[in-house]
Structures are given as C-alpha cells and as structure tokens.
A = this chain, B = another copy of it.
Amino acid sequence: MNPARAPVPADVIERLKTAVGSAGYLDDPADIAPYCTSWRDNWVGRVPLVLRPQSTPEVAGIVGICAEAGIGVVPQGGNTGLTGAAQPHEDMSEVILSTSRLKRIRAIDTVNDTITVEAGAILKEIQNAADRADRLFPLSLGAEGSCQIGGNISTNAGGVQVLRYGNMRNLVLGLEVVLPDGSIWNGLRGLRKDNTGYDMKQLFIGAEGTLGIVTAAVLRLFPKPTASETAWIAVESPAAAVALLGLVRARLGDAVSAFELIRRSLIDFLLAGVPGHEDPMRAVHPWYVLMDVTSQGPPGSLHGPLAEALAAAQDSGFIRDALIAASGTQAAKLWKMRESLPEAVISAGGAIPHDISVPLSRIPEFIERADAAVAAAYPGIRHCAFGHVGDGNMHYNPVRPVDWDLPRFRAERERINRIVHDIVAGLGGSISAEHGIGRARLAELEHYKEPAELAMMHAVKRALDPKGIMNPGKVVRA
C-alpha cells in the first residue's frame, strides 16, 4: 500500500538506544514480535527496535532523533486496537514507541474532579484510582484491563457509557503531547472552560498517533453513583428498542447510562459456543436491550422509577418482557453476557465486522436494509448485530453461512463492507463509530469522506507533521 522505504539506518538505531538506555529498548526479534502483531485481524509488521521510554523528555528525545533522520514512529499503547493503527509496516523502516512505562498517575484533585495520568496508565487502574477517591472515571470498554489511556485518547474511545458521559473526547480536559519535531507541548490544563484560541487538544484526540504522541492527560472525574439498577428487556424489533429509549430518557433522563441492543442470534451463539452463560428468560425473543440506570441517592432508590418506566413501556407495547437484576451478582452476569458477545461471534464461525453509527432515528431502517441486502447477496448469511444503540452505534457483524469456510467468507470482506457502508452513508452515518481508521478503514474513509473534509485532514497533517514521521500511512495517506 505504501511504497517500501529504506530500513532504519544502523547509526540512528544506535542513537535511539543511547537516548533511552539499556532498559528502554528491545531489539531481539523474539521480544519485538508481540509488539508487531495485532490480537485480531492479522496485522503484522516488522521493526528493528521497540523503544520503551520512561519519561516525557525521553519520548521527546526519541521523536527528535526520528524527525532529524526522517524515520517513522509508530506509537503503541496496550496494543488492543482493531484497525491496524498500532502495528508497523513490514519494511523495517519504522520504530515502535511503546508508552507502557509511562504509567504514573501524577495527581488527583477531588475538588476539581480531575485526575492527571500518563499515557501508559491502564484504563482499569485509572478507574480504580478514581474509585478509591470516591469518584467515577466513566470510560468503560471490553479491553479495559489492558488498554492504555493514551490509546483510548488517540482513538477517542467509546464503550458502554457514552450515552451519559460522552466519548473519550468529552472526558479530556488537557493533554501533554510530544510533537512531530520532538518538542513537548504542555497543555495539561484542568479547566472546564478555556476559550483562548483554537482548541488544539481536539486534534490529537482521535488522531491515532498521526499528529504527535500523547504522553499525559488531565481527565474529568464524576460523582460516583450510589444507586444503580440493571434491566434485561426483550423487545420485538430495533424500532421498539428505540421507542423504549425515548420513553426511559423522558422519565429517567441522564440516569440512563447504558443502553445496549442485542439480536437473538448472538444469544444463540453465546449459549452454543461460550461456556458459563444461560438465557435470562424462559421464552425466546427476537431482540434484547441491556440497560443500566445509575444516579446519586440511596441504594435502591432507582428501582421504583425504573419499574414504573418499564410498566409504562409495557402498556405502550414497546416491550415483550423485562427483568430487573435482583442483585449486583445478577447484574454482573448480564454484563458478562454482553462482554462475551465478540467471543460468541468467533465461536459461531467468524464474521465481517462493521462498527457503524447512524442517527438513532435511522437505526431500524439501517438494520432492516442491511439485513435484506446482505441476505440477498449471500443467501444463508447469519444476521448478527449488537451494540451501543443509545449512541446510534451498532456492531453489525454478519456471520458466515454455515456451509462456507472462513477463508471463502473473508474473501468477501470488501464487497460486504461496501454493501453495508453504502447503506450507512445513505443514512448520514459513519463507517467507523468508535474503532477509528488505522489501516483497516483507510480506503473506505477515502471512498466515503467528502473531498473538502479529506483535503482539510491532509492540510492539518502536513501543517503539524510536515515530514510525515508520525504513524505513517494510518488515518491519512502520506
């Protein structure tokens, strides 16, 4: 895809090693290999060196050397991404810069409700630090035990609480960034309001490391909810789920913190292929909603309002059946089901993933049209859709027909992408709601993005990274 470039020269490698010291790099191919490989979708590359700086000045030193020598830098956090953004190319022309050792929690301010963390801090550890301070850091997603906050920022991560707390972008107040010339920008402000010129941090959020390397951030904290309920609700259709969301939002407002839609097929895949789960309901239903409501106030105080809302939804014909988890344990079991859905899809034989969003009002039409279109093109394809419907975001992952083998199905990836993404584009949607672009969606981005917007992205890339050394070939083509 990119023209092959020359390998990193030996003298540059030596300078980089000197810059970080012997504990700061890996050059044994066996040690390097895990950094070059993605956990899904077979993104593999090769580099001569993985750098593991332990401070922001060390990051700046590395980038300065690479800028001078014109060497590409591939920033990497927890290596949990889904788009090939964190893996290098195969030509040995780049180095990987891992943020794993930049993992300090620098400060927590419970009056300002902020936490200052380094890029390599694990999401779960940030959640825990907030919890110990009686606060909530609301970003929550499947990889939270291993993903790093720098990666979450660089992909503008979403997850299950966006409905209430927004994307990662909404949780970032300030950034420290090593810029493509090796200088350090200290934008670690902990302010809710700051209108002093262009909000530069917004460019680095979601840039997947192509404009600089986020080394630290000031993040927002929230009061820790003290009341919480989880409901498992059977509905007839996506349209019924959307109507239900409108009803519960009108009654419970921002207390509705998560609202996930799950197609029945996924429950079948889960029960057949992943041990330890059981159907929460006796009868079989076509679709389910998993909903969390949380607020301040005494524990249990949301049970009544939630039960009333569900009763009203039943009266309105929006739901077929519903249960409210009787305990934290039962709620955790329901959420464990949700988190196991990607595994269930794999156990069913593999899928062509899509991470799309459309306006919430178009979700029913999207699912109906996409189902019809993929079934027409591939008789026997198995419908599969789940996701954060409260944000208009669905993981629409059709599963191979039972009589097809996986390689044959995988070969259809681009054609299936086009079928699904054409419908998304026609509905004013996004072909990458939360996973980003990396390399996996780059051609699709170029196909669907308006030329004026693509041109602006290129102009910004050239303006901030004129040598094109930051994560080359990701998000924007050089």
Contact = CB atoms under 8 A, between A and B. Distances in A.
Interface stretch (A7-15, A177-185, A228-236): A177-185
B179 A452 contact: yes
Given A207-B198, A250-B296, A253-B225, A357 B192 contact: yes
A473 to B, nearest CB: 14
Given A359-B109, A459-B463, A196 B250 contact: no
Contact of A456 (B111, B249, B432, B464): B464
A388 B194 CA distance: 13
Contacts of A155: 195
A271 interface: no
A176 B59 CA distance: 38
Interface stretch (A66-74, A118-126, A434-442): A434-442
A185 B453 CA distance: 7
A199 B453 contact: no
Count identical subunits in the complex: 2
A264 to B, nearest CB: 23
Nearest to A246: B111
Interface string A328-350: 00000000000000000000000
Contacts of A431: 196
Interface residues of A, number: 95
Given A197-B449, A449-B197, A359 B114 contact: yes
Interface string A353-384: 00001111110000000000000000000000
A449 B109 contact: no
A132 interface: no
Contacts of A434: 193, 195
B200 A206 contact: no
Interface in A200-244: 200, 202-203, 205-207, 211, 222-223, 225, 242
A433 interface: yes
A430 interface: yes
Contacts of A170: 166, 170
6 contacts: A112-B360, A113-B360, A134-B250, A194-B433, A223-B249, A297-B305
Contacts of A435: 195
Contacts of A109: 359, 361
A357 B191 contact: yes
A460 B392 contact: no
A191 B250 contact: no
A156 interface: yes
A251 to B, nearest CB: 6
Pairs A-B, 3 closest by C-beta atoms: A202-B202, A111-B361, A463-B463
A93 interface: no
A392 B359 contact: no
Please indicate which of the listed interface residues A194, A198, A211, A437 has the most CB atoms of chain B within 10 Å of its own CB.
A198
A47 interface: no
